[in-house]
Amino acid sequence: MRLSAFTDEIHQPLEKALDFIEANMAPMRSVELRNVAVGDAQPMNIARFSGNSLKKLKDVLDERDFEVSSVSSGFCKYKRTSWDDEKEWKEQQQLFRQALDVAVALGAPYTRTFGFNMVQGSSLEERLPIITERLGWAADLARDAGVTLALETEGGLYADTGAHAGRILRSVNSRYLKVNYDPGNSFNAGEVVWPDGFREIQDNLEFMHVKSMRTPQGRKIDYYNIFKAMKEMDFQGFISNEHHTGRGAEGSLQLHQDILRVFDRIY
């Protein structure tokens, strides 16, 4: 299991986040990029980097010997009131192509995707054909680029739980569409994450976001058994620190230490 973290939840600009990781968050050498500032520039979404700005970003990472675990553009996470969304979908397609270009340039093995915001009155089973078609299109482009799509579980989207994400993955049936399981998100969407949700996606699990050892309601998520199962299945992907608390570097460090304490019990 490899550790990663969102740099924009630690510090801006990127260089300051890398300083903090090197000083406080060993053995992490991989980062996840979403909204990034390099030097004195203003933060911008990773998919907007190109040309000189992309070269400068890559140079910083290379000079510091950091790898990129995933680029996170927010693909397929957009609000609309119906599935009659041709204009919005074309914009998402362009966003995805840009994110793939950045992932290839930075050598990132993954880029995230989401499972489309739910439209009132449209169930997953009803919309599964169009979701399959669209994510299948993206998976084919990812295959050609040598990048894997990681479908994140999040409430309010059709892939809100492990069970629903698993249903979508089985329908798309592509080696280049896997799961970024977020137990905190899925718990808040009503799922029993261990063992129920985890069992639904374990065969397609390649990425995991961890927000906290506990839910916002104070209930403990069973990361011990989740991580233990991942060890037993020889998980080779990333566990990424996305604390989402607004506490910056302090929040990232606390969560990093919590994750390592669970690792100590397993290893």
pLDDT tens for the chain, 267 residues: list them.
999 999 999 999 999 999 999 999 999 999 999 999 999 999 999 999 999 999 999 999 999 999 999 999 999 999 999 999 999 999 999 999 999 999 999 999 999 999 999 999 999 999 999 999 999 999 999 999 999 999 999 999 999 999 999 999 999 999 999 999 999 999 999 999 999 999 999 999 999 999 988 876 667 899 999 999 999 999 999 999 999 999 999 999 999 999 999 999 999
Report the C-alpha gap between 207 and 180 in whole angstroms.
4
The candidate with the shortest Cα–Cα distance to 98, out of 73, 78, 77, is: 73
Task: Write the DSSP assignment of 152-163 as a string of letters.
Answer: E--TTBTT-SHH
β-partners of residue 110 are 70, 148
- Does pTM top 0.85 for this prediction? yes
User: Which tokens in the block code for residue 158?
Assistant: 């059709």
State the alpha helices, DSSP H only, in the chain.
Answer: 14-24, 51-64, 86-106, 124-145, 162-172, 183-188, 198-201, 223-232, 248-266
Report the C-alpha gap between 252 and 25 in whole angstroms.
9
Per domain, the residue ranges of the chain are 2-266
As assigned by CATH, the class of the 2-266 domain is alpha beta
The candidate with the shortest Cα–Cα distance to 201, out of 173, 161, 232, 240, is: 161
β-partners of residue 111 are 71, 149
Report the C-alpha gap between 125 and 247 in whole angstroms.
39
